[in-house]
A and B are shown apart, each in its own frame.
Chain A
Amino acid sequence: MLNAKSQKKENGSLLIKGGHLIDPAAKVNAPMDVLLRDGRVAEIAPPNKIRGAADEKFDARGLIVAPGFIDLHVHLREPGQSYKETIASGTAAAAAGGFTSVCTMPNTAPVVDTAEWVSWLRNPERGAVVNVFPIAAATRGSKGGTLTDFAAMQRAGAVAVTDDGKPILDDDVMRMALRLGAELNFPVVQHAEDTRMTENCSMHAGPTSFRLGLRAMPAAAEGEIVDRDVTLAQQIRESRLHVAHLSTSDALKSVRRGKRAKARVTCEVTPHHFALIDENVGEYNTNFKMNPPLRSATDLEAILVALADGTVDAIATDHAPHAVHEKQVEFERAAFGITGLETALALAITKLHREHRIPLTRVVELFTAGPARVFDLPHRGSLAKGDFADVTIFDPKKRWTFEAAKSRSLSHNTPFDGWQFTGKVAATIVDGKIVYQAE
């Protein structure tokens, strides 16, 4: 392992030439060349002003060069569910989507609730092509009862804890998790769902669920948990709360309240929650079934405002691959979740930038500096000299059609098959090496 690492350091140099750099962390939005050397950013300079030599060049004319994208929320299904996805296939999909770092959720089989499993996920033998930052379980087996050994898992490389897929429901357990997190400067990620209100429910409660005759989740099931958690985060000094896949207008109000009170509260939003609403479920299309569910048009409007005004810290995919046999069943029995790594940037440019006029710099921030701050990933999410040589290069004007069948993910459960997008990843660079390049 050590050997592999030291070899990695001598990986030469790469000059990204002719591109337009957007680095929100450094407030750069200008034509810049970028020189990467030995896994770090060696030099940033205006066009043709780089002094150092390079072994390789990448022609980025007409393209946006950005810090490597970070996805705070992916399910790569290992250990235990490699029929849905593996770390190798999931990170290949991440690379194709422009992500250079992904944070993996612990709801695997078994649950990642020990330092050993955290190390296992980070082992190079897993075949990851982008950086993998494990998020560990907050409670043993994610059963919501006894806290796990946060300190040991943090030492092993975990960047946060969560019981994702399920909420930490019990007030006392959540309080203890935030307290321990505060001591260790360790974020607690909450899947906010009051499961007492959502038993046997398969979509958002509204006119569509009534029309389809489906038991449905009220928006309050999310709002009430976020409200409680923000209150706890305000009470517990130095605690860090991150709200996963926030989907409702009410939850945003609570997050704003926490931020105004200077509590360390952050949140992420998924592309599907800013691109789709409950009506899109149509006639029981299980590729539109996920948790939290697609919400109302009013919720979507509130999310767009929050993405623009800075309330939302990051766009995260909640990439949740499932096999065909888990989706081609009764809507109520179908697995929750959709894939998302390869469509996130295209949705952000098409929907947020082009349709809703959110500046491209803000869109890039939501994929880079924003998520890097949420989990404190030093020298990532920015491209200053000395930062990690993780770069995402994309064409914001390229028109293309997404075909699920060509996805690098092992699973194809996406609602965006056949969608026409504007904005496409051109190349993804991890540790100074090109891990994905568009044809």
Chain B
Amino acid sequence: MNKPTRGSLLGIEHLETKEIQSLLSLARRMNPQKALPLLRGKRVVLLFYESSTRTRTSFEFAAKSLGAMTTLVQSSGSSIEKGESVIDTGYTLRAVGADCIVMRHPSAGVPHLMASHLDIPIINAGDGMHEHPSQALLDAVTILKHKRSLKGLQATIIGDIFHSRVARSACHLLTRFGVKMTLCGPPEFVPDVAATLVPGLRVTRHIEDALRGTDVIMLLRVQKERLAGQRIKLQDYIARYQMTAPRLKLAKRDAIVMHPGPIIRGLELTAEVADGPQSVIVDEVHNGVPTRMAILARALGKAK
């Protein structure tokens, strides 16, 4: 097993702080409309074993804005359907001429597996319940557009943290920069062990407690089938954890509401909150392209 190729982005956890800082500042300088062709002639493969709208299209636009060629490989309609192993798919894409693979996979750790066998940068676009580093970076970019700095902020993540790669990456990134973080939800979604992820995490079952004095509220999608699997009644969940306008008033006056999408109106949040003045949900999607441009430029371009 070899070390990942320089420029790979497998997760936030093991990324050096100064690398995160340089990615964030590069992301804030990137402009999809006026981009330099840093990746001209490069071939970027988008290897998606799982469905995606935001992440896939924004990586594709990011690569193309920088002058790269892209191709999409999905599990259906490729050799993956015929039983080709992940590593063999990687070798094949490398042989075809891929300079970088952006991959999403339903199983945790697969980008690490790929990176230990290939000599090209691997970008993790979400692996199982593990990490979603580009989402954490674009969320940090979004927060920094509304807040002067990360240090000293209070952030709360509400919802199904157990199943969420977004939550894990956000915890790693934000606590690194001095954000005080609270995780909120029922024990089935926020087990006590969640507090061990990084030092200083706080777990609470009460949304009022979680919201008081917070600067950043991050909501997560709640899947109805997971509620059913954990025998949680939908109405009970909504009653206890839905983000509503009255509850939003408990947070700081200038608190922002974030959500990695897709949002389910009427479940984890009301339409009033989603469309309200404190919501930056659309902003996050917008910041996805420049953030992913920065990630690709770091992986392949000269701007390192």
Q: Could you tell me which A residues sit within 8 Å of B by CB distance?
A: 205-207, 210-215, 283-285, 325, 328-333
Contacts and interface: CB of A to CB of B under 8 A. Distances in A.
Please give me the 3 A-B residue pairs with the lowest Cβ-Cβ distance, nearest first: A284-B109, A213-B129, A213-B130
Interface stretch (B23-31, B174-182, B189-197, B275-283): B189-197
Contacts of B105: 330
A286 to B, nearest CB: 9
B168 A330 contact: no
Interface of B: 1, 13-14, 85-87, 105, 107-110, 112-113, 117, 127-131, 162, 165, 168, 191, 193-194, 196-197
Contacts of B130: 212-214
Given A214-B128, A331-B107, A331-B109, 4 more contacts: A211-B13, A214-B129, A284-B113, A331-B113
Contacts of A211: 13, 168, 196-197
B193 A331 contact: no
B109 A212 contact: yes
Given A207-B196, A330-B105, A213 B191 contact: no
Contacts of A212: 108-109, 130
Given A328-B113, A329-B85, A210 B108 contact: no
B108 A332 contact: yes
Contacts of A213: 108, 127-131, 165, 168
Given A213-B129, A325-B85, A283 B107 contact: no
Contacts of B128: 213-214, 332
A333 B107 contact: yes
Given A207-B196, A213-B129, A329-B86, A283 B112 contact: yes
A285 B116 CA distance: 11
Contact of A210 (B87, B113, B131, B191): B191
Contacts of A328: 85, 87, 113, 117
B196 A214 contact: no
Contacts of B107: 330-333
Nearest to B109: A284
A317 B272 CA distance: 61
A333 B105 CA distance: 13
A285 B162 CA distance: 22
19 contacts: A205-B193, A206-B193, A207-B196, A210-B196, A210-B197, A212-B108, A213-B165, A214-B109, A214-B128, A214-B129, A215-B129, A283-B14, A283-B109, A325-B85, A328-B117, A330-B109, A331-B107, A331-B108, A332-B107
Contacts of A205: 193
Contacts of B197: 207, 210-211
Contacts of B1: 285
A214 B108 CA distance: 7
A214 B112 CA distance: 14
Nearest to A281: B109
A330 B86 contact: yes
A330 B196 CA distance: 25
A195 B284 CA distance: 41
Contacts of A283: 14, 109, 112
Contacts of A329: 85-87, 113
Given A206-B193, A212-B130, A213-B130, A284 B87 contact: no
A385 B128 CA distance: 61
B195 to A, nearest CB: 9
A213 B113 CA distance: 15
Nearest to B129: A213
Nearest to A330: B107
